[in-house]
Amino acid sequence: MLKKITLFFLWVSASTYGQCYSGFNIGDYHVVSIKSDGTLWGWGLSDIGQLSNTLFSNPTPFQLSPATDWSKVSAGNNNTFIIKSNGTLWAMGKGSFGLLGNGSTTQSNPTIQQIGTATNWQKISASNEMTIGLKTDGTIWGWGQNDEYEMGNNTCCANQLTPIQIGTANHWVDIESSMAASAFALKNDGTIWGWGLNLGGLLGNSTVMARSIPTQLNADTDWASIHVGAAHILALKTNGTLWSWGGGGNMDKQAIISLHPIIETLQLK
């Protein structure tokens, strides 16, 4: 798989004459990136507008917008969120359940549109069912499906069609959503928190009950970063150790992952 990925990136680089991308963000079947000149580019599947058109195939990179002030991009499964240099949030693609936060549940949205009027968005993490966003003031916001307490405000189960603040805390520093209906966040004190669906013990305990509000997962205060799949999470500590918990049905050959839903060290061979 590594060889295939390497060859793919080499092809992308060669086919675009070596122009500089600031990184790749990959959805289910589409890729988006911002170049060093602030332009937005993408390729792949765009059947419901995730690449600003409704074409099934976009085999080569193309510019998605004439604007040159794009700053950060996040690809959901079937949609795309982009933050401009002025802090405004823009989106396109799948809008079911209110996933785009534009007040609608229209599935196909091929036109890049601004989401709300806020000018302090910092990061977006999108899944197949809900979306969460981090603002520069340290607050977390959510929108989309809320059938498993994804909005973290102790309510269920109506869709949230526009961004709503999750909790009242204002010292969050990072966010990650799972592919399903769970969300995670780090505070500036190094603690890790989670809410929503507890698939495979993803929320760090031995139950399968959803967490209706952001809940601290353990007492540790040295978490540095988090990366979440559908039913498992990888978390890096400040001392460089890597930890994992949740489901382990598809174990990597190069890793030993505990199947018990208690936080365990991930030992790399």
List, for residues 22-52, the tens digit of each pLDDT value: 778 999 999 999 999 999 999 999 999 999 9
The HSE-up count of residue 201 (CA atoms within 13 Å, CB side) is 17
Q: Which structure tokens are listed for 41?
A: 């580019």
| Per-residue pLDDT band at 255 (split at 50, 70, 90) | very low
pTM for the model: 0.84
CA separation for the pair 267, 116 (Å, rounded):
44
User: Residue 165's Cα: distance from chain center in Å?
Assistant: 17
Q: Which structure tokens are listed for 23?
A: 């990184």
CA separation for the pair 52, 32 (Å, rounded):
11
Comparison of pLDDT for 241 and 255, the residue scoring more: 241
Residue owning tokens 């091929």: 110
Per the structure, the count of domains in the chain is: 1
Say which DSSP state 209 is in: P
- From residue 108, give the alpha-carbon distance in Å to each of 65, 99, 148: 18, 11, 24
pLDDT at 1 over 50: no
In CATH, what number is assigned to the domain containing residue 145? 2.130.10.30
Comparison of pLDDT for 257 and 107, the residue scoring more: 107
Comparison of pLDDT for 229 and 263, the residue scoring more: 229
CA separation for the pair 135, 131 (Å, rounded):
13
CA separation for the pair 242, 267 (Å, rounded):
8
CA separation for the pair 91, 107 (Å, rounded):
13
| Per-residue pLDDT band at 207 (split at 50, 70, 90) | low
Overall average pLDDT of the 158-168 stretch: 97
* Residue-number span of the structural domain to which 100 is assigned: 2-268
Residue 260, pLDDT score = 34
